């Protein structure tokens, strides 16, 4: 079983680190410095890097870490991210530290976005979802469409409820402030706010989350719930028939929140 912990980078990025013995993997090393410091201190060897998307705060550390550790780099194909040695596409399976992972294409935030899922790496299934899904929120739609984002998030909704969700940023507290505005009567969101406020007051991570909890608190996973549909229609001033239209409306609302 792999051990997982975050290395913090920039103001709110998490570089998730998977360790077995002295061997390790990092997810989205935007900044090489904290990775090198941590690996030096813990005497770890970096075997592989996995990349979810091209944004610099997720991929900026590839070259320096590759030069230092001579590691493999898995990530979106297409040749637009320098340093990727093992390009992956949708539903492609691969092994990290002897454990099977699968890449899931999840466009919306960017078009190249891949998420990584494994049922066997830890005692419970794990998901690295980059900037597609956050706890109580989702990524901004920079390159894709609300339909693509809805389809991507729907791929996560059908994963086992105990799947641990490792997101790329610590955005939970601000996402919850928006989630409770969309669904003021949602007791699960109220309870989560209380728990998250306590963690953040101690400067602790609010992640990983899990799919079961996100299905109860995340408005972007709840676009077929009447409360969310009504709130989105009220915000947009129009009738919203499709779930992706609901998602588009609440994403716009959040962008202006």
Which residues of this chain interact with Fe ion, rule CB under 5 A?
55, 131
Candidate list 28, 54, 55, 150, residue with the active-site label: 55
Minimum distance, C-beta of residue 88 to Fe ion, in the bound complex (Å): 18
The CA distance from 118 to 242, in Å, is 31
68 as an active site residue: the answer is no
169 as an active site residue: the answer is yes
The CA distance from 125 to 118, in Å, is 6
Task: Name the token pair of 252.
Answer: 């716009």
Minimum distance, C-beta of residue 244 to Fe ion, in the bound complex (Å): 20
Say whether 191 sits in a helix, a strand or coil: helix
55 as an active site residue: the answer is yes
**Omega cis (within 30) before 208:** yes
Candidate list 28, 57, 112, 210, residue with the active-site label: 57
Minimum distance, C-beta of residue 58 to Fe ion, in the bound complex (Å): 6
164-166: strand order across its sheet: 93-96, 99-105, 114-118, 126-128, 164-166, 209-210
Task: Name the token pair of 65.
Answer: 């870490």
Candidate list 109, 150, 210, 244, residue with the active-site label: 109
Smaller CB distance to Fe ion: residue 39 or 116? 116
150 as an active site residue: the answer is no
Task: Name the token pair of 9.
Answer: 């980078």
Smaller CB distance to Fe ion: residue 39 or 171? 171
Minimum distance, C-beta of residue 170 to Fe ion, in the bound complex (Å): 14
Smaller CB distance to Fe ion: residue 55 or 99? 55
The CA distance from 232 to 226, in Å, is 10
Minimum distance, C-beta of residue 231 to Fe ion, in the bound complex (Å): 26
Task: Name the token pair of 257.
Answer: 């929140």
Smaller CB distance to Fe ion: residue 52 or 118? 52
Candidate list 58, 150, 210, 244, residue with the active-site label: 58
Candidate list 53, 54, 150, 244, residue with the active-site label: 53
Smaller CB distance to Fe ion: residue 131 or 151? 131
58 as an active site residue: the answer is yes
Say whether 230 sits in a helix, a strand or coil: helix
80 as an active site residue: the answer is no
131 as an active site residue: the answer is yes
Comparing CA positions, the residue from 56, 222, 84 lying closest to residue 153 is 222
Q: Report, as residue numbers or ranges, the catalytic residues.
A: 53, 55, 57-58, 109, 131, 169
């Amino acid at each position: 079983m792999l051990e997982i912990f975050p290395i913090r980078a920039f103001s709110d990025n998490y570089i998730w680190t998977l360790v077995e013995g002295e061997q390790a993997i990092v997810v989205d090393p935007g900044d090489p410095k904290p990775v090198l410091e941590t690996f030096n201190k813990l005497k770890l060897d970096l075997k592989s890097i996995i990349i979810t998307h091209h944004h610099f705060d997720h991929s900026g550390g590839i070259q320096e870490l590759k030069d230092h550790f001579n590691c493999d780099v898995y990530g979106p194909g297409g040749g637009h991210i320098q340093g990727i040695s093992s390009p992956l596409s949708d539903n492609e399976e691969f092994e990290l530290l002897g454990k099977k992972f699968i890449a899931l294409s999840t466009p919306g935030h960017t078009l190249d976005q891949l998420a990584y899922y494994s049922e066997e790496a830890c005692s419970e299934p794990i998901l690295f979802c980059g900037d597609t899904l956050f706890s109580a929120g989702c990524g901004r739609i920079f390159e894709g469409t609300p339909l693509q984002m809805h389809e991507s998030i729907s791929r996560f909704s059908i994963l086992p409820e105990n799947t641990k969700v490792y997101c790329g940023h610590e955005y939970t507290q601000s996402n919850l402030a928006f989630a409770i505005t969309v669904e003021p009567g949602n007791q699960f969101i109220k309870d989560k706010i209380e728990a998250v406020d306590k963690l953040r007051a101690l400067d602790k991570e609010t992640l990983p989350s899990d799919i079961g909890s996100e299905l109860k608190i995340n408005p972007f996973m709840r676009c077929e719930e009447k409360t969310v549909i009504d709130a989105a229609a009220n915000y947009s001033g129009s009738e919203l028939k499709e779930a992706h239209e609901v998602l588009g409306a609440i994403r716009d609302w959040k962008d202006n929140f």
